[in-house]
Structure 1
Amino acid sequence: MNPLFDQRRYLIPFRSGLLPQIFTGVLVIGGGVAGLRAALAAAERGAEVILLTKGPFEQTATAWAQGGVAAALEPGDTFESHVQDTLTAGAGLCDRDVVQMVVEEGAERVRELFEWGMRVDAGDDGKPTPGIEGGHSARRIYHAGGDSTGAEIQRLLTERVRAHAAIRVFEKCFALDLVTPSDEPGSPVMGAITHHPRYGLQMIWARSTILASGGAGGVYRETTNPPQATADGLAMAYRAGAEIADAAFVQFHPTALYLAGAPRLLISEAIRGEGAHLVDTSGHRFMRDVHELGELAPRDVVSQAIVRQMHKQGGRHVWLDCRHIERFAERFPGIASRLKQFELDPQRDAIPVHPAAHYTIGGVRTDADGRTSVPGLYAAGEAACTGLHGANRLASNSLLEGLVFGDRAGRKATNGNGFTSGGGGAPSSPPVPIVSDIRPSDHAELDLADVRSSLRSAMWRNAGLVRNGPRLTDLAEMLGFWAKYTLDKIFDEPMGWETQNLLLAGAIIARSAAWREESRGCHVRDDCTGTDDAFCAHDAWRRGRDEPTRTPVGEALVS
């Protein structure tokens, strides 16, 4: 990775003492399921909380999530079955203790949602009716509105956060960087410098900071993620000295709508759970030749099978055949409505689909309570890497992870760090003065839109579904070139900051993928086609370090 990526500690120059000062006990960065649940957990334990979101709550990855939330609640289902399904999907890289904890506590967190008033899909008897999705051996996926589970969880948790007297919400507020008393990795996080379109730059000082800022799907040209998924949390954590683990693992959802000029609309796994078929250009159901679970195989298996089938037949997509599913529009109203915008009727037309970047499995390295390698900093949800997903995430475990780790991180963030039972732990004055001195660059300029477009295309082509060493080496050189003319600049608006974050995230992903000389889960290399026991470990990268820290599977990610 080009040394330029390790040289920039902050995105902008500033003097903390000259900016407006805001104080809180716990700062939560991110407004999806993990951030909302973390804010509630911290506030319930007496902390003063600020929750900031980059965009509106309706634009989080949680709000966009069509699939359900997995929990072993039904008679005949067991925690152990859910654990085993997760371990199988994770291809040998899951930490079993973490999986066990999430499955068991997750059941309680889902019951909690039901008690709080989640509008879960139910049968005639009023009881929740779970479905089945890829990789699961039992019907344990709970949905809302057929294909609007994430939006319903977002609504429910957002309402509770807004109603809590101890939580202040800063909406449409961009977190530029985590602040530390020195630039050395390991220096404790004391809050963040943020930008609000109305109030400008602000210093938010906090005894504990929780990153729940989502993933890095925006680094790829083809993605199902919302536009604000630009790896901001991953990038700011890396600049602050936190370790980033398992970055090579990016999950590609098998079925995104593939139409020229159309966004890559996710076609929920729940549709395959209800019997939809994947067929090639000749109408052949090729997944039956690939895996005993057919279309319900784990996502990495299905995505790779689609790519192989396209290469074999020379097409640009395969087809998802839902025409035999009765009452499609009633069962999946959101998807049916969106498909109608493109004159597609799933009861009449097969849907053209192609894999797209969907979920960032790697992230800020944490332990089972969300603690990172940097004091004062916690992470939860897609921004974190906990050891739960291993090398490939099991369907519908992401909302579950956000609920469990959001709750755990929120509770842990209120332990110690100067918290008091009465005052919520907010500092009363700035702990230290912080100065970021960045000189204007004399280098030539590149158009930001061009850099962003080229970056996303290069990542898709060279660090996408199939990778190899030479291409990853070339990709690193491309990213270094763009970095030379982008990371040296000082920008004053989110487009520039996001582009700088995307470049850094792309470089981290490419470096991890080049290091991992094997194929495992959703990381596939055509020059290293099998798994290698030498890489049955978590790789963690930190600013200023050329080699990763290797943690064997099953050992604590953060000691």
Structure 2
Amino acid sequence: MVSAAPTSILPPAATGGQSIVIVGAGLAGLFTALKLAPHPVVLISPVALGEGTSSGWAQGGIAAAISEGDTPQAHARDTIRAGGGIVDEGLAHLLAREAPDRIDDLLRLGVPFDKDIEGKLRLSREAAHSARRIARVKGDLAGKAIMAAVMTAVRKTPSIHILEGMSVHALAKMDGRVCGVHLWPTGSLGQGKAVTLPAKAVVLASGGVGQLFGVTTNPSAAHGEGVAMAALAGAAIADPEFVQFHPTALNIGRDPAPLATEALRGEGATLINKRGERYMSAVHEDAELAPRDVVARATFREVLSGRGAFLDCRDAIGGRFAEKFPGLFETCSGAGIDPLREPIPVAPAAHYHMGGVLTDANGRTTVDGLWACGEVACTRIHGANRLASNSLLETIVFGARIAADISALAPYLLARAPNMPAPPECTAAGPDTGTMETTANRLRRTMTQNVGVVRSADGLRAALGDIAGILKGDLPPALRNRAITARFIAAGALAREESRGAQFRTDFPEPRAQWARGSTLTLDDAEAISDSALACAPHTSNVIHAAFGQ
């Protein structure tokens, strides 16, 4: 762990409220910071820059319609089709239209995308894409290579000041506007007195929610705190119920679970059970290249039945495995699996949150002074189910748009330093007692059992009951944030009485026309849904209907 860095090392422009503060140092935060230059930026990284980010772990690549015969319109159509009927179609077209320019940005930064002998990008195809449009690096090292190039540029940019070893657990707000952040040393969970860092603007880029679940591909810092922090500041939360479970995490008992990239199936790898049966052929016309939610549920059923699920790469990739997918080959070898000679055991794992802090086309939230980018945000581009390799793309497209928006507003954004809100102080019992770890594990257990791949009203009520019990405790800010975000996910899932995309309800197994829209919840809405559920009130309460605009 990096030692906590005191804010005194920052220049006067940062501590005097002249800077833009970015919370998170994955691709969303880094790219936004670069695009904001020469405006002064403080980039807050809980650990050493580049460690523990979902962006750095991304294997498949980044999607863009840049090959001959492909078009942004086709890319947008695939995005809309995968999203289960609730994608913001205008923003999906915007994403696809701006993708080629952002790929050019990455090339200029030195990202070594795979190329053919003519120097053109070698593109691959992934599930639910109608064309080869995934730019990769050495098969499965795209995230690592993109992060390395962007970090190099960030370190060379004098207007970006990196603050490592500090974590944000609360936003500062004054006169109805977010005006800074409250910081604690990483690992403290927000115990003790905070340091307040004022800001002209705050960009949340804090990542996803995977670590709220017991089985996840996400790094250890992905606890979903950004959703709770924004909600506590008054921001609206959109579509929290939609959590994507990746169908092919390696089932080898590791936490986080290593990911077997979708590109393997794009290259022809198949999914089989212990009997050697290719189970996806009977489930969807696209078989292994069906949308992720379809493949995840089918894989979940095979694992639950005891038949097991395995990714068979022997025929499709065979001896080329180590060269084409070196990262995964090393992981398999370390687990005693030889993918050239045996199928790889897989299982679904929490992977990506389509929901998050509601933002517009420029990344603005519903609270002045606060923008959000990357997985913590919900642009509604992904709808109910994200299309493969659109996540890294979204971070750079909207990172650039956020930077342009803040830059245009910069002359009108007031510096914040005098009369800042007093920093909070938490005296809850520390994690050394074991209480905090027990609480965190309790939350992960109920989310996995009751808010996972397959859901029901009874299970969701049980989860909300567990979460309510946790929230009654004397919690430090970090754990309270996790529980609040978990409540948003469970409440949204209970309110949506249908199955759509990544949300599957056994008691409502089909989509319903009246629910073909996104949900929008406030902190009070989520609490009211929880209270209503625990009181056994009818699900058709006014607050549930209001959340869905009915």
TM-score (norm 1): 0.87
CA contact (8 A) 2:55 2:144 kept: yes
Deviates more, 1:106-115 or 1:295-304: 106-115
**Are positions 1:454 and 2:446 aligned together?**
no
Shift of 1:434: 3.2
**Are positions 1:478 and 2:466 aligned together?**
yes
The 3 A distance-change label for structure 1 pair 551 and 430 is farther
Match for residue 370 of structure 2 among 357, 364, 377: 377
Quote the residue 1:357 is aligned against.
Answer: 350
Quote the residue 2:383 is aligned against.
Answer: 390
Shift of 1:263: 4.3
The 3 A distance-change label for structure 1 pair 252 and 480 is same
**Are positions 1:39 and 2:33 aligned together?**
yes
Match for residue 481 of structure 2 among 501, 520, 524: 501
CA contact (8 A) 1:22 1:202 kept: no
**Are positions 1:522 and 2:502 aligned together?**
yes
The whole-number CA distance in structure 1 between the counterparts of 2:22 and 2:358 is: 17
The whole-number CA distance in structure 2 between the counterparts of 1:262 and 1:252 is: 15
Matched AA of 1:463:
V
The whole-number CA distance in structure 1 between the counterparts of 2:187 and 2:495 is: 44
- SS of 2:498's equivalent in the other structure is coil
The whole-number CA distance in structure 1 between the counterparts of 2:342 and 2:381 is: 38
Deviates more, 1:93-102 or 1:324-333: 324-333
**Are positions 1:193 and 2:182 aligned together?**
yes
Match for residue 339 of structure 2 among 346, 357, 363: 346
Note the alpha carbon deviations across 1:501-548, whole angstroms, 9 max, x for none: 221111111110000000000000000011112111221111234336
CA contact (8 A) 2:244 2:502 kept: yes
Match for residue 333 of structure 1 among 318, 326, 333: 326
Identity of aligned residues (%): 38
The 3 A distance-change label for structure 1 pair 343 and 262 is farther
Matched AA of 2:311:
L
Matched AA of 2:98:
E
The 3 A distance-change label for structure 1 pair 64 and 103 is same
Deviates more, 1:430-439 or 1:319-328: 430-439
The whole-number CA distance in structure 2 between the counterparts of 1:357 and 1:198 is: 23
Deviates more, 1:194-203 or 1:51-60: 194-203
Quote the residue 1:544 is aligned against.
Answer: 524
Shift of 1:197: 5.9
The whole-number CA distance in structure 2 between the counterparts of 1:32 and 1:164 is: 17
The whole-number CA distance in structure 2 between the counterparts of 1:53 and 1:440 is: 24
The 3 A distance-change label for structure 1 pair 80 and 236 is same
Quote the residue 2:151 is aligned against.
Answer: 158
The whole-number CA distance in structure 2 between the counterparts of 1:544 and 1:437 is: 24
Matched AA of 1:528:
F
Quote the residue 1:49 is aligned against.
Answer: 41
**Are positions 1:248 and 2:241 aligned together?**
yes
Matched AA of 1:172:
G
The 3 A distance-change label for structure 1 pair 440 and 399 is closer
The 3 A distance-change label for structure 1 pair 119 and 473 is same
CA contact (8 A) 2:172 2:421 kept: no
Aligned pairs (5 A) from 1:112-151: 112-151=105-144
**Are positions 1:176 and 2:178 aligned together?**
no
Shift of 1:262: 6.3
The whole-number CA distance in structure 2 between the counterparts of 1:198 and 1:252 is: 27
Gaps of 5+ in 1: 1-19, 420-424, 492-496, 554-559
TM-score (norm 2): 0.89
Matched AA of 1:49:
V
The 3 A distance-change label for structure 1 pair 287 and 180 is same
The 3 A distance-change label for structure 1 pair 372 and 452 is same
CA contact (8 A) 2:46 2:186 kept: no
Shift of 1:198: 12
The 3 A distance-change label for structure 1 pair 439 and 198 is closer
CA contact (8 A) 1:378 1:413 kept: no
The whole-number CA distance in structure 2 between the counterparts of 1:500 and 1:166 is: 34
Note the alpha carbon deviations across 1:59-110, whole angstroms, 9 max, x for none: 1110011111000000011111111111111010101000000001112101
Match for residue 104 of structure 2 among 111, 118, 129: 111
- SS of 1:177's equivalent in the other structure is strand
- SS of 1:111's equivalent in the other structure is helix
The whole-number CA distance in structure 2 between the counterparts of 1:429 and 1:261 is: 45
The whole-number CA distance in structure 2 between the counterparts of 1:79 and 1:211 is: 28
Deviates more, 1:302-311 or 1:359-368: 302-311
- SS of 1:253's equivalent in the other structure is strand
Shift of 1:437: 7.2
The whole-number CA distance in structure 2 between the counterparts of 1:261 and 1:164 is: 37
Deviates more, 1:512-521 or 1:538-547: 538-547
Quote the residue 2:309 is aligned against.
Answer: 318
Matched AA of 1:322:
C
CA contact (8 A) 1:26 1:414 kept: no
CA contact (8 A) 1:207 1:418 kept: no
CA contact (8 A) 2:47 2:186 kept: no
Aligned pairs (5 A) from 1:270-349: 270-311=263-304, 313-315=305-307, 317-324=308-315, 325-326=317-318, 327-349=320-342
- SS of 1:175's equivalent in the other structure is strand
CA contact (8 A) 2:215 2:255 kept: no
Deviates more, 1:188-197 or 1:521-530: 188-197
The 3 A distance-change label for structure 1 pair 197 and 476 is closer
Shift of 1:173: 1.7
**Are positions 1:532 and 2:526 aligned together?**
no
Shift of 1:21: 4.5
The whole-number CA distance in structure 2 between the counterparts of 1:290 and 1:42 is: 47
